[in-house]
Amino acid sequence: MAEPERPQIYLITPPAFDPDSFAPRLAAVLDAHEIACLRLSMASHDEDLVARAADALREIAHARDIPLVVEAHVGLVERLGLDGVHLTDGQRSVRKVRKLLGADAIVGAFCGALRHDGIGAAEAGADYIAFGPAGESGLGDGSRAEADLFGWWSEMIEIPVVAEGALDATTVAALSPLTDFFALGEEIWREEDPVSALGALIAAMG
């Protein structure tokens, strides 16, 4: 029986960063590890700040043939030459955004731990569904996307699934056979050496 393919890495930016100082850290990670996609996920709603960060990241990502999506800000995708959007409201706006951005844009949907929401988003035209937090987290309402959700999805649904949120080596090892992507952000950026931190999580995939 063939070995299941190792999940790909989907990198998320920190929620706040200075583009000039973050750029070399990001470039080092992208050059050291194979990254499938990069998500600009800033907590700020200052349009100029988000646009400046997007410009800096687009240059770094596209030079390495890595697509760049932005979290939530649909209006910035075409204006800033980004590759798509990561929606955070489950299935709610997938159909409308798909129509707006067209067939070629990446449209992803975060669906918490809700299988039904994931199915709805997939049917509405999402390119991938993200569930999380996949690890233990005191944030939000405390709900967690359990391994059986990823297992069911991988078995029943063709749309790729992404595990994200509070990931550590143990969770990564457990979910590796069940998910297509791991979305990693703060798990590596909070470390002094994000290249090594990501390397350790990739090693945990087995």
Query: For the chain, which ranges sit under pLDDT 50?
Result: 1-2
Domain assignment present for residue 3? The answer is no
Domain assignment present for residue 12? The answer is yes
For the chain, how many structural domains are there in total? 1
Domain assignment present for residue 77? The answer is yes
Domain assignment present for residue 2? The answer is no
Report the CATH number at residue 158: 3.20.20.70
CA distance 3 to 128: 23
Using alpha carbons, select from 138, 127, 136, 104 the residue that is nearest to residue 181.
127
Q: Are 30 and 36 in contact (CB under 8 A)?
A: no
**What is the DSSP code string of 135-147?**
S--SSTTS----H
Domain assignment present for residue 1? The answer is no
pLDDT of residue 5: 84
pLDDT of residue 1: 45
pTM above 0.75, yes or no: yes
Domain assignment present for residue 43? The answer is yes
In which domain, by residue range, is 174 found? Answer: 8-203
